[in-house]
Amino acid sequence: MTATAQLDIDIATQTVEPSTKSTLRTAIAGVTGYAGAELARLLLSHPRLKNTPPMLLGRAGADASAAPVTLTSLHPQLSHLPHADELTLVPFDFEALAREKIDILFLATPHDEARSWAPVALKHGIRVIDLSAAWRLQEDANRAIYKLTDPDPAIGAALQREAVYGSPELHGPQIKTARLVANPGCYATSIILALAPLVRANVLDLDRGIISDSKSGVSGAGKSPTANTHFMHAADNLSVYAPFGHRHTGEMLEQLSLDNSQFQFTPHLLPIPRGIMSTVYAKLSQPSTTAAVQEIFDTFYADAPMVRVRTSPMLPEIQHVVRSSFCDIGFQLAPDKQRLLVVSCLDNLLKGAASQAVQNMNLMAGFHEADGLQ
Ligand SMILES: NC(=O)C1=CN([C@@H]2O[C@H](COP(=O)(O)OP(=O)(O)OC[C@H]3O[C@@H](n4cnc5c(N)ncnc54)[C@H](OP(=O)(O)O)[C@@H]3O)[C@@H](O)[C@H]2O)C=CC1
Ligand SMILES: CC(=O)N[C@@H](CCC(=O)OP(=O)(O)O)C(=O)O
Residue 313 lies in a domain: yes
Q: Give the CA count within 13 Å in the CB-facing half-sphere of 370.
A: 12
Task: Choose, from 118, 121, 129, 186, the residue flagged as catalytic.
Answer: 186
> Hey, whose CA ends up nearest to atom 7 of ligand 2?
220
Task: Assess if residue 139 is contained within a domain.
Answer: yes
Q: Are residues 194 and 305 in the same domain?
A: yes
pLDDT of residue 21: 58
Query: Which residue CA neighbors atom 4 of ligand 2 most closely?
Result: 220
Residue 66 inside a domain? The answer is yes
Our separate counts of H helices and E strands in the chain read: 13, 14
Contact 123, 144 (CB under 8 A): no
**pLDDT tens-digit readout, 298-312:** 999 999 999 999 999
Tally Cβ neighbours within 10 Å of residue 122: 22
- Does one domain contain both 148 and 217? no
- pLDDT average, residue stretch 185-192: 98
Ligand 1 atom with the shortest distance to the CA of 112: 29
pLDDT at 4 over 50: no
- The reply to whether 161 and 233 lie within a common domain is no
Ligand 1: which atom is nearest the Cα of residue 34? 13
pTM of the model: 0.95
Give me the torsion for CA of 259, 148, 13, 10, rounded to 10°: 170
Residues with CB under 6 A from ligand 1: 1, 30, 32-36, 58-60, 108-111, 113, 131-132, 185-186, 219-220, 222-224, 348-349, 352-353
Question: 130 and 155: one domain?
Answer: yes
Domain assignment present for 158: yes
Instruction: Answer yes or no: do 210 and 257 share one domain.
Output: yes
User: 103, exposed or middle or buried, with CB in 10 Å at 0-12, 13-18, 19+?
Assistant: buried
Give the ranges where the chain is alpha helix by DSSP (H): 34-44, 71-74, 94-99, 111-123, 140-143, 153-162, 168-176, 186-200, 231-234, 249-256, 290-300, 318-321, 355-365
Instruction: Answer whether 190 contacts ligand 2 (Cβ < 6 A).
Output: no
- 118 with 91, same domain: the answer is yes
Same domain, 221 and 161: no
Whether the Cβ atoms of residue 228 and residue 267 lie closer than 8 Å to each other: no
Q: Is residue 6 part of a domain?
A: no
The C-alpha angle 143, 147, 150, rounded to 5 degrees, equals: 90
Are residues 167 and 190 both part of a single domain? no
For residue 294, what pLDDT is reported?
Answer: 99
Same domain (yes/no): 158, 224: no
- What is the CATH number for 49? 3.40.50.720
361 is a domain residue: yes
Decide if the complex's ipTM is over 0.90. yes
What's the gap in Å between 8 CA and the centre of ligand 1?
28
Q: What is the DSSP string of 15-38?
A: --PPP--SS--EEEE-TTSHHHHH
Q: Measured in angstroms, how far is the CA atom of residue 27 from the centroid of ligand 1? A: 15
What are 220-274's pLDDT values in tens digits? 999 999 999 999 999 999 999 999 989 999 999 999 999 999 999 999 999 999 9
Of 38, 142, 148, 248, the residue with max ligand 2 atoms within 8 A of its CB, to mutate for a pocket test, comes to 248
Residue 69 belongs to a domain: yes
Note down the domain range covering 144. 26-183+353-365
**Residue 372 counted as domain residue:** no
Query: Smallest Cα–Cα separation from 177: which of 196, 162, 189?
Result: 162
Residues 198 and 158 in one domain: no
CA nearest to 18, candidates 167, 173, 162? 173
DSSP letter at 372?
Answer: T
Mean pLDDT, to the nearest integer, of 183-187? 98
Q: Could you tell me if 66 and 89 are in contact, meaning their C-beta atoms sit under 8 angstroms apart?
A: no
Summarize pLDDT for 7-58 with one digit per residue, the tens.
445 555 566 665 555 689 999 999 999 999 999 999 999 999 999 999 999 9
Domain total for the chain? 2
Report which of 211, 206, 209 is spatially closest to residue 281, judged by C-alpha positions.
Answer: 211
List the residue whose alpha carbon is closest to atom 37 of ligand 1: 32
- In 10 A of CB 206, how many CB atoms? 18
Q: What is the CATH number of the domain that holds 262?
A: 3.30.360.10
* 230 and 333 co-located in one domain: yes
pLDDT digits (tens, 9 = 90+) for 315-351: 999 999 999 999 999 999 999 999 999 999 999 999 9
* 337 and 203 within one domain: yes
